[in-house]
Amino acid sequence: MPSLATLPVPQMELPAVSFFGRTLAEYGRFFSLNPAKLRGRAVLDVAAGPASFTTEAVAVGIDAVAVDPLYDRSPAALSVQVDQDYERMFAQMRAKPALFRLKTFPSFDAAETDRRAAAQRFLADYAGNVRHGRYVRAALPLLPFLDGAFDLVLCAHLLFIYAARFDFQWHLEACAELSRVSGGEARVHPVCGADGRPYAELERLRRELLARGVHSEILSVEYEFFAGSSSMLVLRSRRVV
């Protein structure tokens, strides 16, 4: 019988970055946000995908902007992308239930309903982007914004979930860039990979960020949908510490 150390660790299969999004309420849980305290403040959502965070945040008085490398596509093309990626992601969730914790949602069906509703709100708002310009095509590790342009920068379900796709240097540059465009904090969630385990290079990453003047902290959050996703990485540059 093989030892536990040699048994394969189940994980999500992520051949490419999925176009997948969540709501303002869910962001509030995994980023420990109080939307009322963000009214009038500039907030950037990085790798936002079809999240409804931006349109919902604007509706409650937050000056929110989202970036994603697919924001040069038409609403119709993004709608197709949503259908494809959501079907694939939820099929995996149902096939690998051990990777998930049904705390935020009572079932996978409820989670799917919530996330699909978020995508529909996003698509409706994205269709008016020529008018309001809230959705900017951009990708880490280079963002088209001035230093300290935002009071708060958020990045969900990209950096560490896709650790196998992006190397350490990319993670370092991406975190430094998130901190650069933030005049306050940058928050990254979760701090685990597709297998639910903490990012293997996390302490090295934090040391090298500190050498660049970026302080970091790991904070627990009252949220866990994907196994291991109960914490976030908070980045603060020396200018705001």
pLDDT of 163-220, one tens digit each?
Answer: 888 999 999 999 999 999 999 999 999 999 888 899 999 999 999 999 999 999 999 9
Is 18 contained in some domain? no
- C-alpha distances (whole Å) from 47 to each of 30, 91, 135, 139 are 16, 22, 11, 7
For residue 132 the two structure tokens come to 């309001």
Is 195 contained in some domain? yes
Residue 14 has pLDDT above 70, yes or no: no
Look at the chain and report how many structural domains it folds into.
1
- Which 3 state secondary structure label does DSSP give 55? helix
Residue 194: per-residue pLDDT: 84
Residue 239: per-residue pLDDT: 60
Q: At 188, which CATH number?
A: 3.40.50.150
The per-residue b/e assignment along 48-73, b for 16 or more CB within 10 angstroms, e otherwise, is: bbbbbbbbbbbeeebbbbbbbebbeb
For residue 140 the two structure tokens come to 């880490």
Domain that holds residue 110: 24-240
Residue 17: per-residue pLDDT: 86
SS (H, E, C) 93-137: HHHCHHHECCCCCCCHHHHHHHHHHHHHHHHHHHCCHHHHCCEEE
Is 122 contained in some domain? yes
Is 11 contained in some domain? no
Is 89 contained in some domain? yes
Assign 10 a pLDDT band (cuts: 50, 70, 90): low
Please enumerate in sequence order all residues whose Cβ is within 8 A of that of 16, keeping only pairs 6 or more positions apart, or say none.
165
